[in-house]
Chains A and B, each alone.
Chain A
């Protein structure tokens, strides 16, 4: 079974609109963490935001926020006021447990911002 599911293979969004990228996860470990990374066409992976399973509040980093719904096992990334430079692949990833630091990755969502 997929541990990380990103159901949107691709999205087109008008510049300046808000974007929500979906991510659902599956784990029985009470301690886990969820990451979002951005991969532009140049190839590098850029960290965006992190949410720990015990964090009381939803994570925010500038224009990025994470809509964390623990009961639904979802960790959607919200980008406010999208910009042309936001066009990229976006990956959701999960860390299980505290000792191992192996990230399990989703298949990614290709986001294209239209001018």
Chain B
């Protein structure tokens, strides 16, 4: 058990809908990362937060947004969903986002857009 909690584990929804994925980092970890894993694109970095502030942005669509709250949990909001958004969404956390620090991953949220 990595200590990173993601809910829900599975999500099935329809095109055009909006969903929210939630992540609780390991106790004491200040940095949260969101990744998308799909069959055609592999693992893609979406966004990183550090102690409530956005730190880095990757291949995140404008329809997607995220935030990190004062208690350090994070939410990834996906709106106007399309079939191609179906993927496994991972949250990861690390203590301070220092060089060489390992990322601890949650079990992921499997999103299916029908």
Contacts and interface: CB of A to CB of B under 8 A. Distances in A.
Interface residues of B, number: 28
A47 B43 contact: no
Given A100-B56, A107-B42, A33 B103 contact: no
Contacts, number: 59
B33 A45 contact: no
A52 B97 CA distance: 14
- A-B interface, 10 closest residue pairs, ranked by CB to CB distance from nearest: A45-B105, A105-B43, A47-B102, A102-B45, A44-B107, A101-B97, A100-B56, A52-B100, A43-B108, A98-B99
Interface of B: 2, 31, 33, 35, 42-45, 48, 55-56, 58, 88, 90, 92, 94, 97, 99-108, 110
Given A44-B108, A95-B99, A102-B56, 17 more contacts: A33-B100, A35-B102, A44-B105, A45-B90, A91-B43, A93-B43, A98-B99, A101-B31, A101-B33, A101-B94, A101-B101, A102-B45, A102-B58, A103-B35, A105-B42, A105-B43, A107-B42
